[in-house]
Amino acid sequence: MTTVPIPAWTPIGVLPPFDALAGAESASRSPYNVSLSDVVLRFGTTSDRQRVLDGLIRYRAALHAVGLTVGFQWLNGSFMENIESLEGRSPNDVDVVTFFQLPLGMTQATVAAAAPQIFPMTPPQRLTFKGHYFVDPYPVDLASPPDRLVKLSAYWYSVWSHRRDSSWKGYLQIDLSPAADAAASAQLRVAAGSGATP
């Protein structure tokens, strides 16, 4: 799928839900399909943000290690906002919904048994997970029954397309494939070495 540029934040410090100038048929709408490298280049502007991006890349590596390489991820949360200006703080993590296809011969149970840490279920497990990866994870199996998949997609879209104050906002989509991860990781190391600041 073709990627689009990550749009600038709106005056209220969020990604726009769509590009009003691009027309109704444009791909420039939320969730914006972007590259992992563009996410690193755009959002890896401080050491706190770089730590979150490093965690995201390590989380993706853990998914890839158990064979989850086909699908896509939606990225959102305060990490996608200009939270430093909005609330005077750094983002603590990035919210990630991973829509994945299981490899042939594998079930969710076998994946969970092989790597229980990548799908934390209990509150203590999630807290430990977030402290390690700086990711708030939500897995969705693309082989779910169609009605469940539609309900989950509608749920995440409805929750993620607004801030708590009800203002509209957009979010991003990246491919789950590991093809671009090495380059993104190298870009992150360069950003960290340059002492990037906002």
Whether the predicted model's global pTM rises above the 0.75 cut = yes
Mean pLDDT value across the chain: 90
Least confident range from 24-28, 97-101, 124-128, 163-167: namely 24-28
CB atoms closer than 10 angstroms to residue 62: 15
State how many domains the chain has. 1
pLDDT at residue 185 greater than cutoff 50: yes
**Which residues span the domain enclosing 112?**
32-193
170 occurs within a structural domain: yes
Judge whether 82 and 14 are in contact, CB under 8 Å.
yes
Distance CA 55, CA 63 (A): 12
> Distance between CA atoms of 61 and 87, rounded to whole angstroms?
31
* Residue 18 covered by a domain: no
Angle at 183 between CA 137 and CA 189, to 5 degrees: 80
Burial class (CB in 10 A: 0-12, 13-18, 19+), 111: buried
22 belongs to a structural domain:
no
